[in-house]
Structure 1
Amino acid sequence: MNSLKFLKSKLFLIQLSLAFLITIALIWITLASLKWYTHHGEKLTVPDLYGMHFENAIDTIQNQHLRYSIYDSIYNPQFEPGAIMDQRPLAGAIVKRNRNLFLTINAGQPEQVRFPNLIDNSFRQAYELLVTNGFKIGKLEYQENKYFNLVLYAKYQNDSIAAGTMIDKGATVDLVLGKGDNLGIIAPNLIGKNKSQATEGIILSNMNVGNIQFDESVMNHFDSIQAKVYRQNPLYNERIKLRPGTSINIWLTRDSIKIHTADSLLQRRLSNLLY
């Protein structure tokens, strides 16, 4: 009975109200602290650091309340040592305060790496070995051989290169492959792909990258990364077979209308071929 009276008493109601208010206050403080700690809702735009010297880039990064880590280094003679060659996330990305940017820096001189043994490997195996070791794939050449896509030898600076030779990391390497009895290859569909995806798709289709052109919507390096293919020649056509090693030219844009129109035309053309 005494307990029942206490629960109905003014003192208990006051204590209950105080406990409720304290709980609400604690919840609000916790949520506000989390919001401040995680910078919830705060959005920052990643600056374009490409080509900027590392010391200047640090100032820009810190002024934007971001952080950085040096992820890798490459050598490009067209830029001064210490210039930013790549960044992740890319310029224009929306991130939170204190987001870490991973930077690739231009080295003072090229790193020398040992060239792998590619002879008698398949093209796919050779491709993986070259990419893993930091090389770029240049031109694919085909010669008479009964095995299609068998690596006969590799070329560097227009001369054959032996396994174990020390050359610059990032160098472009051409491959001479077996022609086999291949009856032709269908050009890959590159519409809507960015430059990196398109060039990889061309090479992995046993063809060569031809001319790469950007339209007027591409104004800088960031635009070139974001641009997508809206035209290619030869076209993707399942009824037309091309010789291995054929060059494919691509045109890129940031204009979404051009890309959408190109894709619509492609789908319409494919539908006409089917019916």
Structure 2
Amino acid sequence: MKSSEFFGKFASKYLWGNLLAMAAVVLLLCVGLKIGLDMYTHHGEAIVIPDVRHKLFADAERILADRGLRIEVTDTGYVKTLPPDCILEQSPPAGDKVKSGHVIYVIVNSAKTPTITLPDIIDNSSLREAMAKLTAMGFKVGTPQFVTGEKDWVYGIVVNGRHRVAGDRIPVDAVVIILVGNGSRSASDSTIDYVDPAEAGKEEMEGEGEVDEFDVVPPTETPTRPDHRNPPTTP
């Protein structure tokens, strides 16, 4: 093949037409892929998240659905002043921009007051230990009430005027009162008589010189038995 014929094929309209067609197909594929990704990922779309806190769950769900957003409950809490099924917290927060279909995670208010199990602290710990343990568990600890007993020792737990024991379920918003000893003894406690060792020794020495008085009883004579073999003779 001559060189002129070889270079003449590169100048052929058929070859360049095929190359242009292939380039157009590649370009269309790239453009289509970009458009498809933009549509799938909602590129350039920004939805401002509304504030649904302190709204009922049904109302919050409707508000978010109107903006193309979804809602999902992740946890429950308790606020006494708010109604049950009320939104307490949301994530992401209000004002953030997200894309359509994004999930908004919320915490709702519980219908029942949460409770905590009372630990074993009665007659088992000091005031400081009991207060630290109860506070760490989430209890509301009130001013301790002092009773007769060993100083700073826990003798009981009172909640809403009732005595409670270990294992009872206590509402988280209830105030726990600790009954703690004031260091004084009860009048019913048995008293212990203290004896001074010096006085005890003195009493023992005094007792050694004393002689007990008693009557001396003389021994009685043993009667003799008569001898039947040799009877006594009468004079």
Bin of the TM-score, shorter chain as denominator length: 0.5 to 0.7
Number of the residue aligned with 1:31: 34
Task: Compute the displacement of 1:107 (Å).
Answer: 1.8
Alpha carbons 1:72, 1:105 under 8 Å: kept: yes
Q: How many residues align?
A: 160
For the residues of structure 1 that align with 2:158 and 2:6, how far apart are their CA atoms? 93
What's the RMSD between the two structures over aligned residues? 4.0
Structure 2 residue matching 1:62: 3-state secondary structure? helix
When the two structures are superposed, what TM-score results if normalisation uses the length of structure 1? 0.46
Number of the residue aligned with 1:167: 170
Counterpart residue type for residue 78 of structure 1: T
For the residues of structure 1 that align with 2:142 and 2:6, how far apart are their CA atoms? 91
For the residues of structure 1 that align with 2:141 and 2:99, how far apart are their CA atoms? 39
* Partner of residue 86 from structure 1, selected from 89, 99, 116: 89
When the two structures are superposed, what TM-score results if normalisation uses the length of structure 2? 0.53
Task: Compute the displacement of 1:105 (Å).
Answer: 1.2
Number of the residue aligned with 1:72: 75
For the residues of structure 2 that align with 1:24 and 1:140, how far apart are their CA atoms? 78
Alpha carbons 2:48, 2:96 under 8 Å: kept: yes
Larger Rg: 2
User: CA 1:29 to 1:138, structure 2 compared with 1: closer, same or farther past 3 Å?
Assistant: farther
For the residues of structure 1 that align with 2:27 and 2:108, how far apart are their CA atoms? 51
For the residues of structure 2 that align with 1:93 and 1:47, how far apart are their CA atoms? 8
Task: Compute the displacement of 1:6 (Å).
Answer: 3.9
Gaps of 5+ in 2: 145-153, 179-235
Task: Compute the displacement of 1:137 (Å).
Answer: 7.2
Task: Compute the displacement of 1:172 (Å).
Answer: 7.5
For the residues of structure 2 that align with 1:11 and 1:96, how far apart are their CA atoms? 48
1:48 is aligned to 2:51: yes
Alpha carbons 1:156, 1:174 under 8 Å: kept: yes
* Partner of residue 13 from structure 1, selected from 11, 16, 20: 16
Task: Compute the displacement of 1:52 (Å).
Answer: 0.7
Question: Identity percentage over the alignment?
Answer: 23
